[in-house]
């Protein structure tokens, strides 16, 4: 019996190590889940005023690691639909149609779940799917969408390959193909760095893709030395990477990873004695700085929109959001991107004069849309070309730093 127990143990321990091994190499996923959050939205609008309906569907992470994006996403999505209908719906020719959400599906911050969320959306007769947030999730369904001729606008997935999938795939945000070089340029031009360290997660399409685009730009910059250190999305300890960055003499550290890991990284970097600028990508949006306000000074990240901006579009959006939901919970860049995606889609549908995805896609390519983050036009891939906003922290408060 004793021997048996020992044997069972060795086996069990090996199995557990195997599990760790696999989580180490595998995709970032969170096993937490709390049921499907697909629900049919009923609008209070009177059906009688419209000549028909235009259906769309949305996908966002309502649970899982990125749930704080999902809350704002769903709110921005619903707010835009409500406003479109209040303004008379979607106007095609001399008829007006009611904009309706068939389903708002939860991808649970997980690529496999995102694929089934997409299947749920496409099972309805919809003109377009708006989603999702993380690049790994969006990548899991764009190919299927392209093959079946479904129009997809991703509000927040920046991975460079997404829109190259085909002509039905668009985005509301900028692409990493532009974001990477912009981050690199900020480090070399704005902060005059000649020695740069990059710490990027290797198990995330977003982080790895962004790092690659950055390296491409740094390679072609003269007199700049850089090192890339990997990590994984479930890491909490970055002391090894940080001490290597300090040893290398880095003047700027670029940390293009997701917001949930940023506090640990910044605290450890400051504790290790790194006082230089720390730059991040758009996934820093939503970073919690509570309790560590002083350590976040001299940190910068690229944003899609500055929600403290003094422009009419932003002010209107912020006040409409607070009025609709009673607080600013979830009022982040993601929410504004979902909102703008729908407004832009409606503009394209009206310009196309059709709800057929194959006609809308051509209209989208030609459209020029005034988003909260600046004017959006499309290149031949369906990638949005729009200005970059840079945000910084001042004693814990977000502050607009400039546009690039």
Partner 1 sequence: MTKLIQSLMYGLNLGSIYALTALGYTMVYGIIRMINFAHGDFIMVGGFTLFYTIPVMKNLGMPLWLAVIAAIIVCVGVGVLTEQIAYKPVRGQGSTTALITALGMSLVLENGALVIFGSAPRNVSPMFSLPTIEIMGASIPGQTLLTLVIGFIVMAILSLFIKYTKLGKAMRAVPEDKVASTLVGINVNKIITITFAIGSGLAAVASMMYTTSYVSIKNELGITLGLKAFVAAVLGGIGSIPGAMIGGLLLGIVEILVKVYMLPGTYEAVTYLILIVVLLVRPTGLLGKAVSEKV
Binding site for partner 1 (CB under 8 A): 1-2, 5-10, 12-14, 16-21, 23-25, 30-34, 63-68, 201-202, 229-232, 234, 236-237, 239-241, 243-244, 247, 259-264, 267, 271-273, 286, 288-292
Pairing of strands 252-254, 278-280: parallel
CB of 17 to partner 1, least distance (A): 5
What does the alpha-carbon distance between residue 337 and residue 211 come to, in Å, rounded to a whole number?
23
CB of 10 to partner 1, least distance (A): 4
Quote helix, strand, coil % in the chain, to nearest 5.
45, 20, 35
CB of 290 to partner 1, least distance (A): 5
Here the contacts of 140-146 (C-beta below 8 Å, separation 24 or greater) are 140/111, 140/112, 140/114, 140/115, 141/114, 141/115, 141/117, 142/166, 142/169, 144/115, 144/118, 144/119, 145/118, 145/169
CB of 66 to partner 1, least distance (A): 8
CB of 230 to partner 1, least distance (A): 2
H-run or E-run covering 239: helix 239-248
Is the CB of residue 89 less than 8 Å from the CB of residue 98?
Answer: yes
Q: Which is nearer to partner 1, 37 or 43 (CB)?
A: 37
CB of 316 to partner 1, least distance (A): 27
What is the widest separation between alpha-carbon atoms in the chain? 84
Q: Which is nearer to partner 1, 66 or 388 (CB)?
A: 66
Strand partners, 291: none
Q: Which is nearer to partner 1, 182 or 261 (CB)?
A: 261
CB of 359 to partner 1, least distance (A): 39
**Structural tokens at position 144:** 């299927």
Q: Which stretches of 30-88 are assigned E, i.e. beta strand?
A: 52-60
CB of 19 to partner 1, least distance (A): 7
User: Cα dihedral sign for 155, 158, 159, 160?
Assistant: positive
Q: Which is nearer to partner 1, 53 or 195 (CB)?
A: 195
Q: Which is nearer to partner 1, 239 or 397 (CB)?
A: 239
**Structural tokens at position 178:** 């532009």
Neighbours of 274 (CB within 10 A): 21
Q: Which is nearer to partner 1, 142 or 299 (CB)?
A: 299
Which of 199, 292, 193 has the alpha carbon at shortest distance from 243? 199
Q: Which is nearer to partner 1, 259 or 369 (CB)?
A: 259
CB of 146 to partner 1, least distance (A): 31
> Is there a cis peptide before residue 287, judged by omega within 30 degrees of 0?
no
Pairing of strands 369-371, 151-154: unpaired
Q: Which is nearer to partner 1, 189 or 328 (CB)?
A: 328
Pairing of strands 52-60, 278-280: unpaired
CB of 350 to partner 1, least distance (A): 37
Q: Which is nearer to partner 1, 85 or 135 (CB)?
A: 135
Is the CB of residue 58 less than 8 Å from the CB of residue 76?
Answer: no
Q: Which is nearer to partner 1, 66 or 174 (CB)?
A: 66
User: Cα dihedral sign for 267, 333, 393, 253?
Assistant: positive
């Amino acid at each position: 019996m004793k021997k048996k127990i020992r044997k069972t143990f060795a086996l069990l321990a090996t199995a557990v190590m195997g599990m760790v091994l696999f989580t180490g190499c595998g995709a970032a996923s969170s096993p937490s889940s709390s049921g499907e959050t697909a629900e049919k939205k009923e609008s209070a609008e009177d059906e009688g005023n419209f000549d028909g309906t235009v259906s769309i569907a949305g996908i966002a992470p309502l649970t899982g690691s990125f749930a704080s994006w999902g809350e704002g996403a769903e709110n921005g999505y619903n707010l835009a639909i409500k406003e479109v209908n209040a303004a008379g719906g979607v106007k095609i020719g001399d008829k007006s149609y009611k904009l309706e959400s068939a389903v708002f599906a939860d991808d649970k911050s997980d690529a496999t779940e995102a694929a089934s969320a997409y299947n749920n959306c496409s099972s309805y007769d919809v003109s377009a799917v708006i989603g999702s947030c993380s690049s790994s999730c969006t990548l899991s369904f764009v190919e299927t969408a392209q093959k079946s001729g479904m129009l997809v606008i991703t509000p927040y997935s920046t991975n460079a390959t997404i829109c190259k999938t085909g002509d039905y795939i668009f985005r509301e945000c900028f692409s990493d193909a532009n974001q990477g070089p912009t981050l690199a340029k900020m480090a070399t031009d704005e902060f005059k760095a000649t020695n740069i360290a990059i710490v990027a997660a290797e198990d995330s399409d977003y982080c790895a893709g962004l790092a690659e685009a950055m390296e491409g730009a740094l390679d072609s910059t003269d007199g700049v030395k850089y090192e890339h250190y990997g990590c994984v999305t479930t890491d909490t300890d970055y002391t090894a990477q940080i001490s290597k960055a300090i040893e290398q003499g880095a003047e700027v550290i670029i940390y293009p990873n997701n917001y949930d890991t940023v506090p640990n990284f910044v605290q450890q970097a400051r504790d290790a004695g790194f006082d230089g600028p720390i730059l991040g990508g758009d996934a820093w949006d939503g970073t919690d700085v509570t309790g560590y306000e002083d350590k976040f000074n001299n940190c910068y990240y690229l944003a899609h929109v500055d929600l403290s901006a003094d422009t009419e579009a932003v002010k209107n959006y912020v006040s409409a959001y607070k009025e609709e939901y009673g607080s600013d919970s979830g009022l982040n860049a993601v929410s504004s991107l979902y909102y703008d995606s729908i407004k832009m889609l409606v503009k394209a549908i009206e310009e196309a004069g059709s709800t057929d995805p194959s006609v809308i896609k051509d209209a989208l390519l030609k459209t020029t849309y005034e988003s909260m983050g600046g004017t959006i036009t499309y290149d031949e891939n369906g990638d949005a070309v729009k200005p970059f906003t840079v945000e910084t922290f001042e004693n814990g408060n977000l502050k607009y730093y400039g546009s690039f």
